[in-house]
Amino acid sequence: GAVVSQHPSWVICKSGTSVKIECRSLDFQATTMFWYRQFPKQSLMLMATSNEGSKATYEQGVEKDKFLINHASLTLSTLTVTSAHPEDSSFYICSAPTILPFYGYTFGSGTRLTVV
């Protein structure tokens, strides 16, 4: 139980295009979803917090118009990187808090984005 399915696992896109990353909670309802970015050899950096049915909360320095987050249902949250540039190349991971089967946070498997 408590699985977060994240797609795609990797994507290569051209500079200037947009990319959508999906995270689905498969067997539980995720009222909150965290979106992280991880650069090589760096820790996970929280980008934004999405809550079902309301606007996402962005961390300082994260452009909300560039990283569009939608949490339209209790099982789906999406991150769209708009007008992607090479500096947006990174590993993006979503995470949802869970209570069962364990008290913690379930992570998606991550999306490696490469912008060329």
Partner 1 sequence: QKEVEQDPGPLSVPEGAIVSLNCTYSNSAFQYFMWYRQYSRKGPELLMYTYSSGNKEDGRFTAQVDKSSKYISLFIRDSQPSDSATYLCAMSLSYSGAGSYQLTFGKGTKLSVIP
Residues in contact with partner 1 by CB under 8 A are 4, 6, 32, 34, 41-44, 46, 49, 51, 91, 93, 95, 97, 102-110, 112
Q: How far is the CB of 8 from partner 1 (least distance, A)?
A: 13
Q: How far is the CB of 32 from partner 1 (least distance, A)?
A: 6
3: Cβ contacts below 8 Å, ≥ 6 apart = 25, 26, 27, 106
Give yes or no for a cis peptide into 8 (omega within 30° of 0). yes
Place of tokens 């090479």: 86
Nearest CB to partner 1, comparing residues 51 and 80: 51
Nearest CB to partner 1, comparing residues 44 and 82: 44
Nearest CB to partner 1, comparing residues 49 and 82: 49
Nearest CB to partner 1, comparing residues 39 and 83: 39
d(CA 49, CA 94): 10
Query: Looking only at Cα atoms, what is the longest distance across the chain?
Result: 41
**Does residue 75 sit in helix, strand or coil?**
coil
Q: How far is the CB of 91 from partner 1 (least distance, A)?
A: 7
